[in-house]
Amino acid sequence: MSSESLTHLPAPGLPGWRARALLREPVTLVVGLGVGGLLLLFVLWPILEVVTYAPAGDYLRLGENARWIRATTNTFRMVALSTATATLVGFLYALALSRPDFPGRELLRLIAILPLFSPPFTIGFSYLLMFGRFGVISHGLFGLEASILGWGSLWAVQTISNFPFAALAIERALSATPPTLEAAARDLGGGWLAVFRTVTLPLVRPAVAGAALLVAIYVLADFANPLIIGGDFPLLATEAWYRIDGWGDLRGATLLAATLLPPALILFLAERYWVSRRSYVVIAGRGSSLDRPPLPVSLRWGLTLFCGLTAGLILSLYFGVVAGAFTRTWGVDWTPTLTQWGVALTKLDHIRNSLVFAAAAGVGATVLGTVAAYLVDQKAFPGGRLLDALCVLPAAVPGVFFGIGYLLVFNRPGVALAGTGLVMVLAFTFHNLPFSFQIARAGLAQIHRNLADAAADLGAYRFRILWDVHLPLIFPACVSAWTTAFVNSVTNLSIAVFLVSGGNQVATFSILGLIGDNRLEAASAVTTLLLLTTLLVVGAAWWLSRGARVIPGVLGG
């Protein structure tokens, strides 16, 4: 240790000092005010509009509305059930992924990542193909013809859709526990189970809680799977859509959406709190090259079987979607055919819209997120806390809520944005801002202050430092920010349904329409095409940025 602790003190000075410093940087001030203005306009305004749209009296009478009560209890029931199972499955899966001696763990990881790149309803849709009225398994294998729509199926679908998030989060924590701790505990005489119970589990408990909260947020906000699989199991998100789609009842829809907001906010804040506590895991000195002790044989086989089945299920669900695209009539006539692709080609405009809107939203979210991160982290901007809060706020807002907000504010008659692609791009941009903002912040945090100081010391002024040091080093983070926003936007349905009109149709909405018309094979073809193009674009982005991918912050100490 040296006196470096002093140089790591927070930026010096009082707010007054900061304000004066900022006046000397008019560009920063203008940019900061501009970003703040955009956030107020495109984040805060739509949210406030939804909450205040219905008169207060409507909120007071909610308790008398049987349908509202049913949707609310159903929603909480689904969140509780799905969170419990998805976290449990995710934990077991993570246990396998974190063991270097586990067979095929890289393949398992790849399969778990797959759902992150596909529209959120893909699992629900393929579940329909497997277990629906003419499902391969329910009808083909067991000859059943009963409808599987309802809460049980939705629970299964939510578990499968969301366990990968839990698995990846928990695996990070498990891998971060130093193997020496386990070895030390075993050395002191603990058996595998005792070590797991007394050392490993307590260390990853915050990560497990964080993962559960993350899953709960996703289940609470999910719209597409309940729409396809839920049947007559009304949830808040789907009910809000039915109010608008069926009755044109905006007031009723805002009441339902507004009901989603408090639990979503609470879960979101709790998750952030847990994540911030997670860092106590490693209190070790230098890294150790010690291998993790092997799992007991019985557990290893049990886990292998479990993970194999889970991964197999995911693969078969995806296979079902692809197979559907080449089938004449699903469950009835298995003749291979290309006719579905003819239908898919008629939806090419919608796929193109999806890609263009998502690409534009990716650029918007990345630029805005990076600029905001720079202001908050590097510039000690006076309103930095507020800017920070506004940038992450959309992550706490379910898509349905956000979509209704944009519908109320920007998609009404008389507003120039109504029915345009731009309104879709703006909604996707600001709903994805939290991701790009946090990725950019993490990227900036990797760039040690000394690099900027070194450039200044050698004669570079502010913009030169930004150009020479910050931009090249943050570029890889920008690529992942763009990719995240792009994938989220291409696959989005919950916002899109409230904003589509003739001119700005997107692929997810046409797929939903095809499923609704029971044209499952054509829906399969469009989904497959969308998946392929998305993966292609993401692959191209990574390939194009490969040269710029250096790892900053690994020099010296």
Q: With binding defined as CB under 8 A, does residue 3 bind another protein?
A: yes
Structure tokens at 251: 């007031």
Task: Give, as ranges, the residues between 215 and 254 that touch another protein (CB under 8 A).
Answer: none
* Chain position carrying tokens 């307590």: 202
Q: With binding defined as CB under 8 A, does residue 472 bind another protein?
A: yes
Q: Which is nearer to another protein, 172 or 448 (CB)?
A: 448
Q: Which is nearer to another protein, 317 or 465 (CB)?
A: 465
Report the nearest approach of another protein to the CB of residue 453 (Å): 5
Cβ 507 vs Cβ 353: under 8 Å: yes
Beta-carbon neighbour count of residue 459 at 10 Å?
7
Q: With binding defined as CB under 8 A, does residue 555 bind another protein?
A: yes
Beta-carbon neighbour count of residue 387 at 10 Å?
20
Beta-carbon neighbour count of residue 311 at 10 Å?
20
Residue 423 to residue 37: CA distance in whole angstroms: 17
Report the nearest approach of another protein to the CB of residue 6 (Å): 5
Report the nearest approach of another protein to the CB of residue 288 (Å): 19
533 sits in the region (left: phi over 0; alpha: psi -120 to 50; else beta) called alpha
Q: Which is nearer to another protein, 1 or 60 (CB)?
A: 1
Choices 204-212, 356-364, 427-435, 544-552 (CB under 8 A): range interacting with another protein: 544-552
Choices 68-76, 306-314, 373-381, 543-551 (CB under 8 A): range interacting with another protein: 543-551
Q: Which is nearer to another protein, 23 or 113 (CB)?
A: 23
Q: Which is nearer to another protein, 66 or 554 (CB)?
A: 554
Structure tokens at 466: 């930004």
Cβ 155 vs Cβ 197: under 8 Å: no
Q: Which is nearer to another protein, 7 or 198 (CB)?
A: 7
Contacts (Cβ under 8 Å, ≥6 apart) of 88:
none
* Chain position carrying tokens 């939804």: 50
Q: Give the per-residue SS3 of 414-443.
A: CCCCCCCHHHHHHHHHHHHHHHHHHHHHHH
Contacts (Cβ under 8 Å, ≥6 apart) of 337:
326, 327, 328
Structure tokens at 139: 């009808």
Q: With binding defined as CB under 8 A, does residue 5 bind another protein?
A: yes
Q: With binding defined as CB under 8 A, does residue 280 bind another protein?
A: no
Report the nearest approach of another protein to the CB of residue 391 (Å): 26
Report the nearest approach of another protein to the CB of residue 445 (Å): 15
Choices 2-10, 177-185, 384-392, 487-495 (CB under 8 A): range interacting with another protein: 2-10
> Which listed residue (2, 279, 289, 298) binds another protein by CB under 8 A?
2
> Which listed residue (34, 37, 342, 553) binds another protein by CB under 8 A?
553
CA angle (184, 199, 296) in 5-degree steps: 80
Beta strands in 68-142 (DSSP E): none
Q: With binding defined as CB under 8 A, does residue 552 bind another protein?
A: yes
Choices 279-287, 461-469, 488-496, 519-527 (CB under 8 A): range interacting with another protein: 461-469
Q: Which is nearer to another protein, 12 or 414 (CB)?
A: 12
Q: Considering CB under 8 A, how many residues would be counted as binding another protein?
A: 36
* Chain position carrying tokens 């900036």: 444
Report the nearest approach of another protein to the CB of residue 232 (Å): 57
Report the nearest approach of another protein to the CB of residue 478 (Å): 14
Beta strands in 45-98 (DSSP E): none
DSSP letters, 347-365, are: THHHHHHHHHHHHHHHHHH
* Chain position carrying tokens 């701790």: 181
Report the nearest approach of another protein to the CB of residue 381 (Å): 18
CA quadruple 288, 294, 295, 300: dihedral sign: positive
Q: With binding defined as CB under 8 A, does residue 556 bind another protein?
A: yes
Q: Which is nearer to another protein, 322 or 451 (CB)?
A: 451
Residue 93 to residue 89: CA distance in whole angstroms: 6
Q: With binding defined as CB under 8 A, does residue 15 bind another protein?
A: no
Q: Which is nearer to another protein, 58 or 468 (CB)?
A: 468
Report the nearest approach of another protein to the CB of residue 468 (Å): 8
Q: With binding defined as CB under 8 A, does residue 18 bind another protein?
A: no
Report the nearest approach of another protein to the CB of residue 340 (Å): 47
Q: With binding defined as CB under 8 A, does residue 550 bind another protein?
A: yes
- Of 175, 178, 173, nearest to 205 by C-alpha is 173
CA angle (22, 27, 33) in 5-degree steps: 75
- Of 156, 163, 162, nearest to 228 by C-alpha is 156
* Chain position carrying tokens 């007394």: 198
- Of 258, 250, 221, nearest to 411 by C-alpha is 250
> Which listed residue (468, 513, 533, 541) binds another protein by CB under 8 A?
468
Report the nearest approach of another protein to the CB of residue 552 (Å): 5
> Which listed residue (4, 64, 106, 232) binds another protein by CB under 8 A?
4
Binding mask 421-460 for another protein (x = CB under 8 A): ---------------------------x-xx-xxxxxxxx
**What's at 510, amino acid-wise?**
S
**What's at 343, amino acid-wise?**
V
* Chain position carrying tokens 């020479």: 468
**What's at 176, amino acid-wise?**
A
Report the nearest approach of another protein to the CB of residue 162 (Å): 37
Q: With binding defined as CB under 8 A, does residue 23 bind another protein?
A: no
* Chain position carrying tokens 């945090």: 445
Return the SS3 of 42.
helix
Q: With binding defined as CB under 8 A, does residue 116 bind another protein?
A: no
Choices 7-15, 81-89, 424-432, 493-501 (CB under 8 A): range interacting with another protein: 7-15
Choices 97-105, 222-230, 276-284, 467-475 (CB under 8 A): range interacting with another protein: 467-475
Question: Which residues of this protein are in contact with another protein, per CB under 8 A?
Answer: 1-7, 9-10, 12, 448, 450-451, 453-461, 464, 468-469, 472-473, 548, 550-557
